[in-house]
Amino acid sequence: MTVYTPGQVAEETGFSLDTLRYYERIGLLEPVERNAAGQRRFSEEDVGWLGMVRCLRDTGMPIAAMLRFAQLVRSGDHTVADRIGVLESHDAAIEAQITLLRERQRAIQRKIQYYRDVQAVAELRETPDPARR
């Protein structure tokens, strides 16, 4: 069984050591095993779970929803339908955010084109007309 130090987990997951401690304290991460000296030792399962937490966090899932999902996962297979519901709800929220971002991106692209047009007109005005020589 592979074990990881907190530093290795931080590097692997991108979470800071403080965040790892916080996630453990609030119950998002189950209590981490400790060696004889009391140092945390993370399992492959812990690292895998933190990968899922990273995905949920990076896609904007609130901590409360992540905690609910974690609770369902730990409660056993009879919660699979509820887990699907949590993830489907989050997926719908992501889709709505993507739609909104695409709309805003189109507005930005229109503004970019407007400024390019303004710039092109200004450059035309600055170019001497060879017929006037």
Provide the pLDDT confidence category of residue 132 given band limits of 50, 70 and 90.
Answer: low
Q: What does the pLDDT read at residue 133? A: 58
Task: Indicate whether 123 belongs to any domain.
Answer: no
CATH of the domain at 26: 1.10.1660.10
Q: For 72-123, how does the pLDDT look when each residue is reduced to its tens digit (9 = 90+)? A: 999 999 999 999 999 999 999 999 999 999 999 999 999 999 999 999 999 9
Asked whether residue 110 is assigned to any structural domain, the reply reads: no
Within a domain: residue 103? no
Q: Taking 90 as the threshold, does the pLDDT of residue 25 lie above it?
A: yes
Q: Is residue 31 one of the residues assigned to a domain?
A: yes
pLDDT digits (tens, 9 = 90+) for 31-75: 999 999 999 999 999 999 999 999 999 999 999 999 999 999 999
pLDDT confidence of residue 128: 79
Position 9 in a domain: yes
Asked whether 67 and 28 are in contact (CB, 8 A), the reply is yes
Q: Please classify residue 61 by burial: count the beta carbons closer than 10 Å to its beta carbon, then call 0-12 exposed, 13-18 middle and 19+ buried.
A: buried
Residue 43, φ and ψ in degrees, nearest 5: -95, 170
To which H or E segment does residue 43 belong? Answer: strand 40-43
**In this structure, is residue 126 part of a structural domain?**
no
* 96 CB neighbour count, 10 Å cutoff: 10
Residue 50 buriedness (CB in 10 A; 0-12 / 13-18 / 19+): buried
Q: Determine the Cα angle at 37 with ends 33 and 41, to 5°.
A: 30
Q: How many domains does the chain have?
A: 1
Structural domain boundaries, residue 50: 3-95
pLDDT band at 7 (very low <50, low <70, confident <90, very high): very high
